[in-house]
């Protein structure tokens, strides 16, 4: 046994000299101290050693084992230090005087089209305002006539914060503030980011953009609504467009409509963009519900108003030719950077 142990020590010392990396050191540890390692294999031999030599052999076994362990620990320490030193020596040397070519950036398609839509509204006498992304339950729901039993208030649909506020689920959350701020002579649009607790796929996002607008005055009617929407859509699509109204339902408007635009790509014949129907659903709208006006302190007997939304992400996708809404939030420069508007 003594010879075996001495041989093991000799072999180990020889092999230790060849260890160059941490992984070499680990392999060596396994070879000598592992479950099937050379030292482990010697241990049962101790049983057969004559009693008077047992103590000596036991001490020798321990000595070899400790020698292997300590030598490996020391080697690993050295290798780690060397590694750090190598990293320091080879660390990227940055020459701050070198000119850097960052390339020319571009605006996000959403930003470009938002600006375009805002400019159209501004040209028609609208003011551009905004809303909060975190809203009170009152502003997001009660102030726009969404009853407490409405399923939209459910946690499955809405991101509720622990303080009872919500991530606004629609731009209408700003209506109460906007109506109070601009009163009976309002002609305002308020674009913004909205949030729904949605499963995300190519057609649905949990974070999306809407543009909403309100007009309040005496005698505002559906005719005003159609006029402004048609004007806006014609300018956005850069051609005279046809629109149609279908009945819709929203708690904050009465009556409510869905406004469709005749597909500017196929002229109504049917194409992939309009899903073959010839029409693109883009603008939920309606006459502002008297309760909503009242909650903003506006006399609904004297004044009336219309409100409209714009399916803004859909518009961006149509105009930029993107077919996956997720790209818009992705920050994927490969797709977003070279994009150009279809219209």
Q: Which residues bind Zn ion (CB under 5 A)?
A: 263, 265-266, 271, 273-274
Instruction: Report the residue number, 247 or 272, with the smaller CB distance to Zn ion.
Output: 272
Instruction: Report the residue number, 226 or 271, with the smaller CB distance to Zn ion.
Output: 271
Give the angle subtended at the CA of 283 by the CAs of 282 and 287, to the nearest 5°.
165
DSSP conformation class of 220:
-
Instruction: Report the residue number, 144 or 241, with the smaller CB distance to Zn ion.
Output: 241
- Closest distance between Zn ion and the C-beta of residue 280, in Å? 7
- Closest distance between Zn ion and the C-beta of residue 194, in Å? 27
- Closest distance between Zn ion and the C-beta of residue 122, in Å? 29
Q: In what helix (H) or strand (E) does residue 325 lie, and over which residues does it extend? A: none
Give the angle subtended at the CA of 325 by the CAs of 315 and 278, to the nearest 5°.
45
CB 20 within 8 A of CB 47: no
Instruction: Report the residue number, 203 or 276, with the smaller CB distance to Zn ion.
Output: 276
Place of tokens 């009242």: 294
CA 261 – CA 129 distance, rounded (Å): 25
Instruction: Report the residue number, 260 or 313, with the smaller CB distance to Zn ion.
Output: 260
Instruction: Report the residue number, 134 or 271, with the smaller CB distance to Zn ion.
Output: 271
- Closest distance between Zn ion and the C-beta of residue 266, in Å? 3
- Closest distance between Zn ion and the C-beta of residue 328, in Å? 21
Residue with nearest beta carbon to Zn ion = 263
Q: Which phi and psi (to 5°) does residue 259 adopt?
A: -100, 125
- Closest distance between Zn ion and the C-beta of residue 109, in Å? 20
Strands (E), the chain: 127-128, 134-135, 166-167, 187-195, 207-217, 243-248, 253-262, 279-288, 304-310
Give the angle subtended at the CA of 154 by the CAs of 152 and 160, to the nearest 5°.
105
Instruction: Report the residue number, 150 or 269, with the smaller CB distance to Zn ion.
Output: 269
- Closest distance between Zn ion and the C-beta of residue 263, in Å? 3
User: What secondary structure does DSSP assign to 140-195, as a single string?
Assistant: HTGGGT--TT-GGGSTTTS-B-TTS-EE-SSGGGGHHHHHHHHGGG-EEEEEEEEE
């Amino acid at each position: 046994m003594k010879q075996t142990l001495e041989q093991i020590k000799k072999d180990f010392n020889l092999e230790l000299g060849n260890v160059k990396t941490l992984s070499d050191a680990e392999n060596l540890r396994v070879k000598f101290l592992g479950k099937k390692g050379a030292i482990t294999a010697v241990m049962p031999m101790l049983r057969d050693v004559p009693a008077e030599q047992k103590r000596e052999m036991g001490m020798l076994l321990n000595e070899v084992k400790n020698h292997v362990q300590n030598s490996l620990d020391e080697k690993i320490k050295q290798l780690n230090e060397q590694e750090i030193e190598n990293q320091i020596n080879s660390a990227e040397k940055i020459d701050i005087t070198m000119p850097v070519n960052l390339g020319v950036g571009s605006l996000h398609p959403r930003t470009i089209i938002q600006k375009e839509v805002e400019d159209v509204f501004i040209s028609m006498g609208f003011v551009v305002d905004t809303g909060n992304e975190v809203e009170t339950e009152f502003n997001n729901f009660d102030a726009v006539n969404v009853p407490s039993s409405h399923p939209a208030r459910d946690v499955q649909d809405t991101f509720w914060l622990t303080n009872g506020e919500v991530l606004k689920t629609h731009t209408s959350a700003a209506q109460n503030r906007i109506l109070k701020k601009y009163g009976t002579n309002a002609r305002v649009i308020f674009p913004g980011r909205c949030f729904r607790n949605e499963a995300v796929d190519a057609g649905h996002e949990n974070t999306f953009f809407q543009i909403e607008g309100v007009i309040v005055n005496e005698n505002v009617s559906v005719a005003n609504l159609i006029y402004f929407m048609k004007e806006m859509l014609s300018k956005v699509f850069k051609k005279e467009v046809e629109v149609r109204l279908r009945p819709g339902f929203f708690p904050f408007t009465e009556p409510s409509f869905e406004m469709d635009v005749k597909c500017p790509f196929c002229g109504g014949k049917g194409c992939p963009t309009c899903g073959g129907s010839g029409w693109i659903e883009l603008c939920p709208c309606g006459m502002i519900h008297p309760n909503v006006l009242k909650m903003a302190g506006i006399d609904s007997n004297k004044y009336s108003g219309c409100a409209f939304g714009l399916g803004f992400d859909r518009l961006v996708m149509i105009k930029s030719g993107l077919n996956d809404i997720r790209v818009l939030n992705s920050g994927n420069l490969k797709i977003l950077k070279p994009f150009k508007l279809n219209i």
